[in-house]
Structure 1
Amino acid sequence: MKAVFYLVLLGLGGVVTDLAGECDMAGFYLELGCSAVPKTDNSTICPDAFQCPDLHPDPTKCYYKGVPYKDRSNIPQNIINNPCSQACSCQVSGGPRFECAAVDCVETFDVDLQQQCISTYDLESCCSTGTVCGTDAIAALKTCEVDGKTYRVGEAFEPKNTRKTCICTGEWNGSTEGAYCRDISCGLEIHYQDMVAQNCAPVFVRNTRSCPIAFQCPSPTSKVVRGLNRRGVNSECSFGNMTLSVGDEVTVGETCMRCSCEVPPFVTCTKQVTCDN
């Protein structure tokens, strides 16, 4: 499967737009190798729907980026665009899935270190690769101004309206196309292969442009609530064996979560951080 090119060039002024960072669900679909369905109008650059390949044609194998893997075979590390996914091997017992080595970062647990020092990162490392401690040493570091925030050399950040993670360097010039940035990979096929194959719905917090935190599958009590397809989108969503039109919702039994068909073919669930029960 060929990689999908994330950036589209707009006609006005040659402005480059990060489709994955600015359009709902675009990053999710592009990571799975899906392609945008051409729009019937030019109202926005964001696709109304996507078309996805058969993501799991053989139930006895695992798949990553269209390549089949037999039981106990490993994905080559150099093709995994996520340094936090290490030593991932196919397991078919109980349903095809990938299992990866656990990566625990010391900075996640060392509260004292966070208070006294700043952690520095390498673009291809999952955990911090160093620390800078002391008020004078930290103050001497060069900085990057991004989205109204200040980052010091070695600190990681994710610019708004992009699907990128970047490291502050002395060469930072505001562009996310330099060697100090890389595309974010959510590891959808690695961590949620069985859920994707079952047409479960990705669960997001607040918006659908980030990585999902989980997947929601249908339950025996799930029901489709018909809505209005105000955009007139012809594509449909699948949720397990259910079929929804754009604008339809589906009940999942959680008060703080709304699941609906917005950008087919996957139903999308959005979880609120706070809500009235």
Structure 2
Amino acid sequence: MKVVPHFMVLLMLGCARADMAGECDLAGFYTELGCTPTPSGDNSTLCPDSFTCPELHPDPAMCYYRGIAYSDKSTIPQNLINNPCSQACSCQVASSGGPRFECAAVDCVEVFDSDLRQCVSTYDLEACCSTGNVCGNDAIANLKTCEVDGKSYREGESFEPKNTHKTCICTAGWDGSTDNPSVCRDINCGIEIHYQNKLLDNCAPVFVGNKKSCPISFACPSETTKIVRGVNLRGINAQCVFGNTTLGVGDEVTVDERCTTCSCEVPPFVSCTMKAACN
């Protein structure tokens, strides 16, 4: 029997997780929450049938981030937050609405300054806003470019390669690889920070287009919610939870959001897709 060294097992697992987050629906969402994938019964596919998640809210009177409890008014240490756009996030426990994190507003000057629209804004992996600007036709023309997924990016610009769940910076030495941590990093959606109370209420993440990106919102149960029982063609035993209701794979949920469809596909969360264009 061939023995694989321990460090090689860890390396292969890390690569599989990285590929899975970019290629499988909801894999990035679950990985960020610390959930563990359940291997698919079909060995030909990388994507798990379901995930097993830790208890995300043992105490409804506390906020939780990465398994650590935060009491009212306590702040998450910045070095624990893997998202440069989430700054000074503190727990707020209100009498209604459930626990939530509130963060400082981050306003990027390149969004509001019209004079910069003629320039190329340059970015750093560890910064939320641009860290510099290249202005003038000659200076811009001298920038190297990166060709990614049929699009061209100038040196210093950021982009998200398809099927990677990563954000990268175009550099003069870009070789197409996303494995270099000085050039690319994993995308962190800040799910626990921005949707703390939605997780507590077992709401469903809402995605636009596909379920490999960050959710844009959560759909929660209401008085008009209806469950439409479907057929579990994949024979998956794991179940989803939506509010206080348990669903099987293939079941659908009607929600108040227009042009949004929700179903139990990859337990334990019901997930929703919103059409990018909706009449």
Q: Measure how far apart 1:7 and its partner are.
A: 5.7
Aligned to 1:164: 166
Distance between the aligned counterparts of 2:140 and 2:231, measured in 1?
54
Kindly provide the amino acid, as one letter, of the partner of residue 147 in structure 1.
D
Of 111, 115, 118, which residue of structure 2 is paired with 1:108? 111
- Per-residue Cα deviation, 1:180-238 (whole angstroms, up to 9, x for no partner): 11111000000101101110000100110000000000011111101111111111111
Aligned to 2:36: 35
Distance between the aligned counterparts of 2:127 and 2:257, measured in 1?
36
Q: SS at 2:196's partner residue?
A: helix
- Per-residue Cα deviation, 1:38-78 (whole angstroms, up to 9, x for no partner): 22221311011101010010122111100111221111111
My pick for the range that moved more, 79-88 or 163-172, is: 163-172
Of 261, 267, 279, which residue of structure 2 is paired with 1:264? 267
Runs (4+) off by over 6 Å: none
Aligned to 1:125: 127
Distance between the aligned counterparts of 1:5 and 1:92, measured in 2?
40
Distance between the aligned counterparts of 1:192 and 1:255, measured in 2?
20
Distance between the aligned counterparts of 2:127 and 2:15, measured in 1?
31
Kindly provide the amino acid, as one letter, of the partner of residue 38 in structure 1.
P
For residues 9 and 100 of structure 1, do their structure 2 counterparts lie closer, same or farther at Cα, with a shift above 3 Å needed? closer
CA contact 2:60–2:200 (8 Å) conserved in 1: no
Aligned to 1:225: 228
Kindly provide the amino acid, as one letter, of the partner of residue 49 in structure 2.
D
For residues 169 and 58 of structure 1, do their structure 2 counterparts lie closer, same or farther at Cα, with a shift above 3 Å needed? same
CA contact 2:33–2:66 (8 Å) conserved in 1: yes
Aligned to 1:175: 177
Identical-pair percentage: 69
Equivalent residues, number: 267
Aligned to 1:20: 21
Q: SS at 2:195's partner residue?
A: helix
Distance between the aligned counterparts of 1:173 and 1:99, measured in 2?
39
CA contact 1:6–1:20 (8 Å) conserved in 2: no
2:248 is the counterpart of 1:215: no
- Per-residue Cα deviation, 1:5-48 (whole angstroms, up to 9, x for no partner): 996557xxxxx961101000000000000001122221311011
Kindly provide the amino acid, as one letter, of the partner of residue 43 in structure 1.
S
Distance between the aligned counterparts of 2:11 and 2:87, measured in 1?
25
CA contact 1:72–1:90 (8 Å) conserved in 2: yes
CA contact 1:147–1:160 (8 Å) conserved in 2: yes
2:253 is the counterpart of 1:250: yes
Kindly provide the amino acid, as one letter, of the partner of residue 147 in structure 2.
E
Q: SS at 1:43's partner residue?
A: coil
Aligned to 1:13: none
Question: TM-score when scaled to structure 1?
Answer: 0.92
Kindly provide the amino acid, as one letter, of the partner of residue 49 in structure 1.
S
CA contact 1:225–1:249 (8 Å) conserved in 2: yes
Kindly provide the amino acid, as one letter, of the partner of residue 87 in structure 2.
Q
Q: Measure how far apart 1:112 and its partner are.
A: 4.1
Q: Which runs of 5+ in 2 are unaligned?
A: 1-9
Q: Measure how far apart 1:97 and its partner are.
A: 1.2
Aligned to 2:55: 54
Distance between the aligned counterparts of 2:13 and 2:138, measured in 1?
41
Higher helix share: 2
Q: Measure how far apart 1:108 and its partner are.
A: 1.5
The aligned runs of 1:82-101 (5 Å cut-off) are 82-94=83-95, 95-101=98-104
Q: SS at 2:45's partner residue?
A: coil
Aligned to 1:185: 188
For residues 205 and 214 of structure 1, do their structure 2 counterparts lie closer, same or farther at Cα, with a shift above 3 Å needed? same
Aligned to 1:44: 45
Q: SS at 1:97's partner residue?
A: strand
Aligned to 1:198: 201
- Per-residue Cα deviation, 1:116-157 (whole angstroms, up to 9, x for no partner): 111011111101111101111101011212112111111001
For residues 6 and 66 of structure 1, do their structure 2 counterparts lie closer, same or farther at Cα, with a shift above 3 Å needed? farther
Aligned to 2:150: 148
